Structure 1
Amino acid sequence: MSNAQDKVLALAGMFQAARLVQKLARDGRTETRPFAASVRSVLMIDAENAAEVYGGVGGVALGLKLLRDKLSGSAEPSDLELAKYVISMLQLEAALRRRPEVAEAIRAGVRAAETQMSLFHGESEDEEEEDDADTVHPRLVDLLAELYTQTLSTLNPRIMVSGEHGHLSNPEIAARVRAGLFAGIRSAVLWRQLGGNRWQLVLQRRAIAQEAERLLKSAERQ
């Protein structure tokens, strides 16, 4: 894949994570497969390309649809909040670049989570508890949520999530929200590593939307 394609996938990862967090906070639930792909992307530190980060282009199909629709003019009342989350993720990524010790703690924590999950699955006798292609194990969600609390949530500006108090006060949903935010920051880091910046979102809206549409069609053919 070209750098332009990789950048669109990384951007789709951010938009997808933002929508997942939005739905969790508002409705207490979200799409299972996109959530699994987004959360697992946090573990993909050494991926060779952006598609591999998300388990294939289809892993960010929700995000690609959002890019195609929102950057080409389709608007909904919830779009302002969605944009706020994306901008906050970019701001937090910038703060993370200024704190290398926090970035190192995240890398160490992610590798520890990988190790714990491999041991957890190895010891599990119940095959139904393990992840399949469309789900993510609750233990991984908890590990990443805790790592988010210990690292990214200590940086400013913090991402403020709006939603139903009953959902946000539920420990399970709150953990999923934090894991979703973590996935958004992972995509923001990838976007920046690929040369992405905020001006491109403004000046290249049409090109990004067109590339998102092309990638969606290619994913459907696979």
Structure 2
Amino acid sequence: MSYHDLPSRCIAFAAMCQAAYQVDKLACTGNVPNLKAFETSLLSIMRVDSDSPLDVFGGYSGLEIGFKSMQSQLNGNNQGRNMQVTKYIIGMLALEKKLTQDQTVCAQLGERINQVQHQLAHANIDDDLILSNLNLIYKDLISDLGPKIQVNGNPACLQQERTQHKIRALLLAGVRAAVLWRQIGGQRRQLLFSRKVILQQIEQNLRRI
């Protein structure tokens, strides 16, 4: 079955928004806004052989924050739009483009993710060991591919090592979602010219939760 359709692209882009939204909240408060959303984002990095885009994220409920954030970003109301989230999404898309052009890094990324998958047999996704390894994957393989994503927030929060690891793990999840979005036909112009129908799709998805 082909997933080159609007509902699938909406799911993938919502996952990007969810990762970016959580990065912003972590940077400003030191806390993730929702544990289920956090786990959904990080576990999606591991799901490289899922049957559908929805399966990557374990269903609609794990993306509720992403759908709501995407809604705010696209509804045309500047008061509701979070410009930091927008900036992080743009950065994720730029890194995704560089990543998919470098097959060597793609292969290394697959190997490193496979190692973390083995570790998950004995640990939870939010354990320090897993977060540290996801942090290193992002630092070693993704961060330097293009312009670095500059995260803004509360310096006291950003100085905490565990917060840094969570932020980089979420940025990795965002890039993973960006790769999926591109693979199923996502393009920036769709966000401009198909905004109304995308917002209708988001409302449908929220009703499914």
Same fold, judged at TM 0.5 (above): yes
Alpha-carbon separation, structure 2, partners of 1:74 and 1:32:
28
Judge conservation of contact 2:21–2:85 (CA < 8 Å) in 1: yes
Partner of 1:80: 83
Partner of 1:16: 18
Partner of 1:158: 148
Deviation at residue 161 of structure 1 after TM alignment = 0.8
Q: Does residue 1:190 correspond to 2:180, yes or no?
A: yes
Deviations 1:118-143 (A, max 9, x none): 1x34xxxxxxxx56xxxx33332221
Q: Does residue 1:43 correspond to 2:33, yes or no?
A: no
Alpha-carbon separation, structure 1, partners of 2:105 and 2:170:
19
Alpha-carbon separation, structure 2, partners of 1:117 and 1:34:
18
Deviation at residue 78 of structure 1 after TM alignment = 6.3
Alpha-carbon separation, structure 2, partners of 1:205 and 1:77:
15
Q: Which runs of no fewer than 5 residues in structure 1 stay unpaired?
A: 122-129
Q: Does residue 1:140 correspond to 2:142, yes or no?
A: no
Q: Does residue 1:93 correspond to 2:96, yes or no?
A: yes
% identical aligned pairs: 32
* Structure 1 residue identity aligned to 2:175: I
Worse-superposed segment, 12-21 or 109-118: 109-118
**Aligned-pair RMSD on alpha carbons?**
1.6
Alpha-carbon separation, structure 1, partners of 2:139 and 2:72:
32
Alpha-carbon separation, structure 2, partners of 1:218 and 1:138:
33
Residue number among 61, 65, 72 corresponding to 2:64 in the alignment:
61
* Structure 2 residue identity aligned to 1:55: G
Judge conservation of contact 2:72–2:80 (CA < 8 Å) in 1: no
Q: Which runs of no fewer than 5 residues in structure 2 stay unpaired?
A: none
Alpha-carbon separation, structure 1, partners of 2:28 and 2:21:
10
Residue number among 187, 210, 213 corresponding to 2:200 in the alignment:
210
TM superposition score normalised by structure 1: 0.87
TM superposition score normalised by structure 2: 0.93
Q: Secondary structure at the match of 2:12?
A: helix
